[in-house]
Amino acid sequence: MNGTNVSNTILERLAGELSELTPEARKAATYVLENPRDVGVSTVREIATAANVKPNTVVRMARQIGFEGYEDFRAPFRDAIRRGEADFPDRARWLQDISKSGDLGGLYADMVRDVMSNIEETFAGISTDDLKSAADAIWKARRVFTLGVGVNNSVARNFTYIASTGMTEFHAIPRPGSTPVDDLAWADQKDVLIAITCKPYRSEVVEAVNIAREQGMTIVALSDSPASPIVRIADHGFVVSVDTPQFFPSSAGTIAVLETLLSFVIAVASDEIPERVATFHKRRHQLGLYYSEDK
C-alpha cells in the first residue's frame, strides 16, 4: 500500500517477524504481505478463506505482532483507504522524492521512470488484435523457435522455459555449440521464429530472420524501432521501448510483451494446455521441488 505510512510500518513489522510466527499464522501473514489492499476491505473470515487458514489463525497472527485482534490490526488499512492514500502515489511527486534520497537517488528515480515509461510506451503501440494474431500463429505452428543473443538470450530462454511448462515444441536458439542458422536448417512454413534484437542489431539475428523468411517461416519480431531490419520483414512486428540512463538497453518492455504474448497463446490454445500446466506443477510438488513451510 504505497503512500500509507502507518500500514507500511505494519507490513514491515509483519515481514520482520514472519519467521517467528507459527506455520499457519505465517500463511496468513504471507497473504497479507502479498495482498495488503485486501485488509482494509475484508472481514477476518474473508482473509482467512483467501489465505486458506482458520479465522482464529488470522486473529492470532495480529496478536503475535502486537495488536489486540484483527479489527485493531485492520484499522490502519481502513483509515488509509478513507484518506485516499491506498492508491499508487502521484508518479511525479514520488520520483522527485526518491531523487532527493541520497547520492544514488537521482539514478534510482531515472531507472524507475524509464522502466515504467518503457512498458507504457511499448503497449501504447500494440493492440489486442496484434497480440491475438501472433498468438494464433504461434499456437498453430508445428514448432516455435525463440532467438535472442547477448542480453536477449536469457529473455528468449525464459520465455521458452515458461511456455514449455504446457507446450512441448518451443525451442530457444542458438543451442549450445550451434548457430541460429544451423538450428533453423530444417524449419519451414509450418514453423514460427520469434526473434529479438535491438540497436546495435546483432548480425546473426538479422541473418537468421532473413533465412527464416526464405524458408517460409512465420516471423514474430521484437525490436526497438519500426525501421529495425527484423521488424520490417516480420509477419508480426512489435516495437519495444528500451530507454535507460545506463549503457545497456532496458529489457522490461521486451519481457512484458513476451509474457503478454504467451498469455494470449494460452488463451487461444485448447483446453488441454491449462491442464498440462497444472499437471506440470503438481508433479513438481510431488517431487518436492517447491519449498514448503510445512516440512
Assigned CATH topology for domain 5-82: Arc Repressor Mutant, subunit A (1.10.10)
Instruction: Give the percent of the chain with pLDDT over 90.
Output: 51
Higher pLDDT, 18 or 188: 188
Q: Averaged over 223-238, what is the pLDDT?
A: 94
Does a cis peptide bond (omega within 30 degrees of 0) precede residue 174?
yes
DSSP for 159-212 reads: HHHHHTTT-S-EEEESPTT--HHHHTTT--TTEEEEEE--SSPPHHHHHHHHHH
Place 274 in a pLDDT band, splitting at 50, 70 and 90: confident
pTM of structure: 0.67
- Higher-confidence residue: 277 or 187? 187
Task: Specify the range with the lowest mean pLDDT, choosing from 11-15, 61-65, 125-129, 185-189.
Answer: 11-15
What is the secondary structure of the chain as a DSSP string? Answer: -TT-HHHHHHHHHHHHTGGGS-HHHHHHHHHHHH-HHHHTT--HHHHHHHHTS-HHHHHHHHHHTT-SSHHHHHHHHHHHHHTT-SSPPPHHHHHHHHHTSSTTHHHHHHHHHHHHHHHHHHHHT--HHHHHHHHHHHHH-SEEEEEE-THHHHHHHHHHHHHTTT-S-EEEESPTT--HHHHTTT--TTEEEEEE--SSPPHHHHHHHHHHHHTT-EEEEEES-TTSTTTTT-SEEEE-----SSSS---HHHHHHHHHHHHHHHHHS-THHHHHHHHHHHHHHHTT-S--TT-
Task: Specify the higher pLDDT residue, 117 or 89.
Answer: 117
- For CATH 3.40.50.10490, the residue range(s) in the chain are 126-284
- Residue 2 banded pLDDT, cuts 50, 70, 90: very low
At residue 245, the pLDDT reads: 73
Q: Looking at residue 82, what is its pLDDT?
A: 59
What pLDDT sits at residue 89?
44
Question: In this predicted structure, which of 25-29, 76-80, 204-208 has the lowest mean pLDDT?
Answer: 76-80
Is the confidence at residue 5, as pLDDT, over 80?
no
Beta carbons of 112 and 92 less than 8 angstroms apart: no
The answer to whether residue 164 scores a pLDDT higher than 80 is yes
pLDDT over 60 (residue 4): no
CATH of domain 126-284: 3.40.50.10490
All CATH 1.10.10.10 domain ranges in the chain, comma separated:
5-82
